[in-house]
């Protein structure tokens, strides 16, 4: 979520639906200054209302939309993945909501590689922390990137290509296998 939208019409799309599901409290918190959505500021909604399927929601501030870069989204993905790993979550979803805030679609075309790399790098870092005995090993084994239906085909191809490029740089040691599917989904 950005500190504000680029146009005066306010949020739209998935971000609007989330705000509506939260009874308008997300935008109310931003207006009041309780959650300003500044760069990497986080808001953890640990008790979402009935109707929200997620057990919790992490809103990551992206700062001002005019200063946005693909690296900012990758950094937000890293924050979200790190939080999910530290909470012991087995799955998570990330919705960038860039177009919902008024960014031009052409500006957001090449963000997938950074997002995929952020997931892998963050999980690897958390594995190293666990190997040092300072935390439990990550159990996160499913990450979903949400995208609007109008861009699903293009985005699917972009993620597929990005994953192949990023995966080429990840050593195939076999040590980081996901946990058994016998564990209960969180």
3-state SS of the chain: helix, strand, coil percent to 5?
Answer: 45, 10, 45
- For residue 47, being part of any structural domain is answered with yes
Position 151 scores a pLDDT of 58
- For residue 113, being part of any structural domain is answered with yes
- For residue 27, being part of any structural domain is answered with yes
Token digits of residue 22: 């939260």
Q: Sorting pLDDT into bands at 50, 70 and 90, what band is 175?
A: very low
Q: Are 62 and 39 in contact (CB under 8 A)?
A: yes
- For residue 82, being part of any structural domain is answered with yes
Question: How many domains, the chain?
Answer: 1
Position 100 scores a pLDDT of 77
Confidence check: pLDDT of 160 > 90: no
Token digits of residue 18: 């989330």
Position 117 scores a pLDDT of 87
* Gap between the Cα atoms of 43 and 139, Å rounded: 23
Position 9 scores a pLDDT of 83
Which structural domain, as residue segments, surrounds residue 148? 13-167
Q: Are 139 and 84 in contact (CB under 8 A)?
A: no
- For residue 185, being part of any structural domain is answered with no
Position 179 scores a pLDDT of 41
* Gap between the Cα atoms of 39 and 64, Å rounded: 8
State the chain's mean pLDDT as an integer.
Answer: 83
Q: Are 123 and 172 in contact (CB under 8 A)?
A: no
Q: In this structure, what CATH number is given to the domain that contains residue 138?
A: 3.40.220.10
Judged by average pLDDT, the poorest of 75-79, 163-167, 180-184 is 180-184
- For residue 173, being part of any structural domain is answered with no
Average pLDDT over residues 9-34: 94
- For residue 39, being part of any structural domain is answered with yes
- For residue 6, being part of any structural domain is answered with no
Judged by average pLDDT, the poorest of 41-45, 63-67, 126-130, 141-145 is 141-145
DSSP state of 4: S
């Amino acid at each position: 979520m950005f500190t504000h939208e680029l146009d005066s019409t306010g949020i739209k799309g998935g971000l609007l639906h989330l705000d509506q599901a939260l009874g308008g409290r997300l935008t109310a918190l931003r207006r009041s200054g309780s959650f300003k959505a500044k760069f990497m500021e986080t808001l953890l909604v640990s008790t979402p209302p009935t109707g929200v399927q997620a057990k919790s929601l992490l809103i990551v501030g992206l700062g001002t939309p005019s200063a946005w870069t693909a690296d900012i989204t990758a950094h937000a993905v890293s924050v979200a993945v790190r939080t999910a790993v530290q909470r012991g979550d087995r799955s998570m979803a990330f919705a960038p909501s860039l177009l919902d805030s008024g960014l031009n679609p052409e500006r957001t075309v090449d963000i997938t590689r950074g997002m995929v790399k952020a997931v892998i790098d963050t999980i690897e870092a958390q594995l190293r922390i666990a190997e040092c005995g300072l935390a439990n090993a990550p159990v996160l084994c499913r990450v979903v990137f949400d995208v609007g239906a109008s861009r699903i085909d293009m985005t699917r191809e972009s993620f597929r290509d990005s994953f192949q490029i990023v995966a080429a740089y990840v050593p195939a040691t076999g040590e980081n296998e996901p946990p058994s599917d016998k564990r209960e989904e969180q």
